[in-house]
Structure 1
Amino acid sequence: MTGSDGVDIRRPVTAPAEQDGDTAAPVSRTRVLVRRFRANRSAVVGCGLLLAIIIVTVAAPLIAPYGPAQIDIADRLSGPTTRHWLGTDTLGRDTLSRLMHGGRVSLAAAGLAVAIATVLGLPLGLVGGYFGGVVDWLLDRVADVLMAFPAIVLTIAIIAATGPGLTTAMVSLGIVYAPRMYRVVRGSTMGVRREVYIEASTSIGTPHLMILRKRVLPNILPAALVQLSFLLASALLAEVTISLLGLGALPPTASWGSMLGQAFLEMRNNPSLAVYPGIAIAITTLCFNLIGDGLRDAFGRETRKES
């Protein structure tokens, strides 16, 4: 059906953001991606829970009822009471307070490991996927060697050579996780490298560094962000494992992994000591995975639409 001016009035009017040219296009795409992410209720719930956990752990020095190393021998191994809502450990330290402070340590450690993996893996993946040739072959062989060993086993081997400690453990873990980020970025870069607009930029003499920064990097960021969220979940579990073995956070520093390690020693006397950090670890890991799924679905639909 047409109006008096001959325009089909049944056709939906194009949004202004799509008519304004290149300036409004990035804003419109960002809004679309945000809307797709918000449509995934599980991802939104995971994002909300993770934000709440981060706020509580960051504010632990202000809101925790006790210090993480404050000892009360008279109330050691007590159950939940009005003074200690989640009970106390073998030295009478408040479990709730240590849980809050331990979250700061565990999340910061996971973030450090993933940051190192990203700083190493992302630029190397860009270089290897874009230039190819001998550089790509050498980087790929190094990645193959590092990924041939289980991440935890290789991290423990590095710690054995350098000495225990949370910072050392997370730096080692970041190096071990770098090939995982490298592989994702390299694969995405190789796909973008074959696009026509990359060939056009190369043919007119655009410097390779500018092409990587302005053309390739924005297009591989979605895949890198999804990988980053999954690496955070994996790094958190790795920190828990390393600290549980006594190679990460050292006493009296509280972390979720060290709390689990101490709880195992008192499993018969007070099994609840392992329940609370275990729940915190499970919920936080689930949040990272839900956010990763939400990002993958949002960016995945964008990729399918463009292809």
Structure 2
Amino acid sequence: MTRSRSVDIKKPAPVPAEKDSGAAVPASRGRALLRRFGGNRSAVVGFGLLLAIIVVTAAAPLLAPYGPAQVDIGDRLSGPTAEHWLGTDTLGRDTLSRLMHGGRVSLAAAGLAVAIATAIGLPLGLVSGYFGGIVDWLLDRAADVLMAFPAIILTIAIIAAVGPGLTTAMVSLGIVYAPRMFRVVRGSTMEVRRAVYIEASTSIGTPSLMILRKRVLPNILPAALVQLSFLLASALLAEVTISLLGLGALPPTASWGSMLGQAFLEMRSSPSLAVYPGIAIAIATLCFNLIGDGLRDAFGRETRKAS
């Protein structure tokens, strides 16, 4: 007789319920983007330098040895000394103090212009790229008209009609730069609009505003952030040009552009007055461009990997 063998059948271990990983995916994606951005040494150096410039200029009232408008006629156009590390200008004002306060004004002005451009171009680009139709055609033609003129020339024309002043100049510049943000957002939105998950959300009756806010906007933000960094560099140079022409920061307000314009009057006797703000402008502009390149590479690698 064959002896029957009992076979122990183990019950499978209960599978733990899957946790909602909706929050983990964006977090891991953000860490991956930071890791890729951190792998770009140029972008990291640019970010570090820009952060240092922002901290120093923001703390200018505490760090600057003199006031930006403090005049000492008896010590005008002096070279670097123990009292004035970078010398003084034609009115005896400390160059280092004005450089720190001027950076505060120039960076804030560039930020204001880009903030206005983003506030106008981002929502209009979303609406135009998502809905299309006559609204898209009208907005696209308006962007064509604005972009047909050089940004500085159009900004100067608006300033001539409204009046000089740094705030007026930066608001005008923000309006002129809005089509550049609009074009980038519109193109990205049109590409996202054709995605399957957008069609699925539309088919089940999800409101358009909710789709724009929760589906489209997060996917076009990478392109918008890259464009924003390049616009900051362009806006900084535009502020320098406008203030250099005497249409931006008005005396006695210090900005890098106004310092550069005043230095040209003393170029032969004190060329160093133009060197210091010129170096600051070049470094800040380079930092914005390096950060933009780093963001573009980080987001671009993610896009290629997803495709």
Matched, 1:153 2:150: no
Name the SS for the 1:21 alignment partner: coil
Distance 1:173 1:22 in 2: 40
CA distance in 1: counterparts of 2:24 and 2:45, whole angstroms: 30
Distance 1:240 1:249 in 2: 9
Distance (whole Å) between structure 1 residues aligned to residue 23 and residue 123 of structure 2: 28
Q: Which residue of 1 aligns with 2:303?
A: 303
Distance 1:220 1:158 in 2: 31
Matching of residues 118-129 of structure 1 within 5 Å: 118-129=118-129
Structure 1: gaps (5+ residues) = 1-17
Structure 1 residue identity aligned to 2:54: I
> What is aligned with 2:142?
142
TM superposition shift of 1:171: 0.1
- The 1:152/1:193 distance shift into structure 2, 3 A limit, reads same
CA–CA distance in 2 between the matches of 1:24 and 1:278?
A: 45
- Is 1:170 aligned to residue 170 of structure 2? yes
Q: CA deviation at 1:36?
A: 0.1
- Letter matched to residue 295 of structure 2: L
d(CA) in 2 for partners of 1:130 and 1:105?
37
Q: Deviations over 1:246-268 (max 9, x none)?
A: 00000000000000000000001
- Secondary structure at the counterpart of residue 22 of structure 2: helix
Q: Work out whether 1:206 is the aligned partner of 2:194.
A: no
In structure 2, what is the Cα distance between the partners aligned to 1:76 and 1:270? 11
3-state secondary structure, aligned to 1:22: coil
The answer for the alignment partner of 2:76 in structure 1 is: 76
1:19 CA displacement: 8.9
Give me the TM-score of the superposition, normalised by structure 2.
0.93
Once the two structures are superposed, residues 81-106 of structure 1 have per-residue CA deviations (whole angstroms, 9 ceiling, x without a partner) of 01100000000000000000000000
Q: 1:6 — aligned with what?
A: none
Q: Which amino acid in 2 is paired with 1:214?
A: K
Flag the 1:35–1:20 CA change in 2: closer, same or farther, 3 A: farther
Structure 2 counterpart of 1:223, one-letter code? A
Give yes or no for the alignment of 1:251 onto 2:251.
yes
2:86 is matched with 86
Which has more radius of gyration?
Answer: 2
Could you list the runs of 5+ residues in structure 2 that have no partner in the other structure?
A: 1-17
Q: Deviations over 1:150-170 (max 9, x none)?
A: 000000000000000000000
Corresponding residue for residue 112 of structure 1: 112
Alignment match, 1:10? none
2:282 aligned partner: 282
Q: How far apart, CA to CA, are the structure 2 residues paired with 1:83 and 1:20?
A: 62
**2:19 & 2:300 partners in 1: Cα distance?**
24
Which residue is equivalent to 1:293?
A: 293
What do you get for the CA RMSD once the two structures are aligned? 1.0
Q: Where does residue 40 of structure 1 map in the other structure? A: 40
Bigger shift: 114-123 or 23-32? 23-32
Structure 2 distance, partners of 1:69, 1:24, is 52
Q: Distance in 2 between matches of 1:19 and 1:157?
A: 58
Separation (CA, whole Å) in 2 of partners of 1:201 and 1:19: 23
Pairing 1:267–2:267 present: yes
CA offset at residue 20 of structure 1? 6.6
Distance between the aligned counterparts of 1:74 and 1:57, measured in 2?
27
The superposition leaves residues 168-201 of structure 1 with CA deviations (integer Å, 9 ceiling, x where unpaired) of 0000000000000000000000000000000000
- Displaced runs of 4 or more, over 4 A: none
Corresponding letter in the other structure for 1:106: S
Q: Tell me, in whole angstroms, the C-alpha distance in 2 between the residues paired with 1:158 and 1:196.
A: 44
Shift of 1:24: 1.2
d(CA) in 1 for partners of 2:239 and 2:34? 31
Q: Does 1:52 align with 2:52?
A: yes
Equivalent residue number for residue 95 of structure 1: 95
Normalised to the residue count of structure 1, the TM-score between the two structures is 0.93
Q: Find the aligned partners of 1:26 and 1:166 in 2 and give their Cα distance.
A: 40
Deviation per CA, 1:110-167, whole angstroms, max 9, x where unpaired?
0000000000000000000000010000000000000000000000000000000000
Percent identity over the alignment is 88
Task: Name the residue aligned to 1:181.
Answer: 181
Equivalent residue number for residue 217 of structure 1? 217
Residue 210 (structure 1) shift:
0.1
C-alpha displacement of 1:245: 0.1
Q: 1:64 & 1:23 partners in 2: Cα distance?
A: 44
Counterparts in 2 of 1:249 and 1:297: CA distance versus 1, 3 Å: same
Q: State the distance in 2 between where 1:277 and 1:305 align.
A: 42
Q: Structure 1: how far apart are the matches of 2:57 and 2:23?
A: 40
